[in-house]
Amino acid sequence: MRVLMVGAGYVGLVSAACFADFGHQVVCIDSDAGKIEALRGGKIPIYEPGLGELVSTNLRAGRLSFETDLKEAIADADVVFMAVGTPSRRGDGHADLSHVYAAARQIAGALRGFTVIVTKSTVPVGTGDEVERIIRETNPDADFAVVSNPEFLREGAAISDFKRPDRIVIGLEDERARAVMAEVYRPLYLNAAPIMYTARRSAELIKYAANAYLAMKITFINEMADLCEALDADVQDVARGIGLDQRIGSKFLHAGPGYGGSCFPKDTMALAKAAQDAASPVRLVEATVAINDSRKRAMARKVTAACGGEVRGKTVAVLGLTFKPNTDDMREAPSLALIQALQDGGARVRAYDPEGMEGARALLDGVTFGNSPYEIAESADALVIVTEWDAFRALDLDRIGKSMKTPVLVDLRNIYKQGEVEKYGFTYTSVGRPRPKRAA
């Protein structure tokens, strides 16, 4: 199949590389000439494990190419994927669809013969209808079908998710598109990946509903963590106990400082706004958004309490800046609100992250960035684990504790056990777990 991917961002680049690895001929288009030139040289603008090797392999094999001229590339395409950004619109939280509609107009003017136009971007219900209207208005003679094919990629595991998906959702209104999409995903038949065909509007809503539900699971267990602390229970035991129920499942039941990233924050907000406009509000989702926003700054109060109730004039070392491990994505990361709140309280903040510091420098003022956990911990009054990178799971606690001014460890991801930390002289604080009973 001849595939055109419009947009060389996270979703577009991963999808283009994986489709090429399946054996399709893939052209990836982006208006950023500098990015395209870098990609032609094998330089990847984002951190995603395995992506650099996948792009380079398929560039050498001639199955993947990068261009800026959409009109020339679309002439031979069987299917055109739109994978452009849909960030939250400033001021009201709705999804900003300007890039989607601009891409639709560009595509419309270049169509030749029957072409399937696929929306890969996360978009509100009804966007496919508007894309179809724009294309017909721009090019009345065009022969095309508009399809919704939402992505379900986890940052840090995107290639595996693409090649071994839980499901493939395809929303269409024109049956001619079914055969085209079946051929696009034919390489996954051996993996027995279920393909779900549905109406286009249903496919659009499936993506938002899935993200909102997962965000609610995270928020639920975070509230249970607070309750566990109040009742002297252990949130990890609670999570395991309910997660063993097959109706619930164990995934996304890990207490922490709140969710962030490119999807959950903007998608829950966009779904809530769209539901309000439809006069059918989704109160659970609205509550999820509000609770998650307040939780991020609440983590600063936990750090302050661990520091004796005051951080003014103290040095706090923060381990982990990205919203999750194995990515360089800083969007809506809990570390941002936490650090701002600590600075508002008068703390001096040092920080280290294996991949996120370049992005963090553009978002954080007054933070001292270090080259390792050991560097930022030296002479610090407290060390805070915000992101559960593997590199933080086996720290030399003896070395760190001896180098700190005050050995206080605040573990917001529960990656350590109380006893193994305290034997090195630390005062240890975690999330949703009771302090051990001490002998009288």
**Strands 408-411 and 382-385, bridge-based pairing:** parallel
Q: Which two tokens stand for residue 221?
A: 């267990």
Measured CA to CA, the distance from residue 55 to residue 371 in angstroms comes to 29
DSSP annotation of 186 reads G
Q: Which two tokens stand for residue 366?
A: 């007054």
CA distances from 301 to 27, 56, 182, 233, 339 (A): 49, 46, 52, 20, 11
Measured CA to CA, the distance from residue 176 to residue 52 in angstroms comes to 35
Longest Cα–Cα distance in the chain: 85
> How many CA atoms does the CB half-sphere of 123 hold within 13 Å?
28
Active-site choice (18, 228, 263, 307): 263
Measured CA to CA, the distance from residue 49 to residue 246 in angstroms comes to 31
> Which element (helix H / strand E) includes 170?
strand 168-171
Phi, psi of 427 (to 5 degrees): -90, 120
Q: Return the amino acid letter for 157.
A: A
Q: Which residues pair with 369 in a beta bridge?
A: 351
Coil, helix or strand for 60? helix
DSSP annotation of 438 reads P
N-term to C-term CA, the chain: 73
Phi-psi region of 326 (alpha: psi -120 to 50; beta: other; left: phi over 0): left
Based on the residue annotation, tell me whether 263 is a catalytic residue of this protein.
Answer: yes
DSSP annotation of 382 reads E
- CB count in 10 Å sphere of residue 128: 24
Rounded (to 5) percent helix, strand, coil in the chain: 45, 15, 40
Active-site residues, by number, are 263
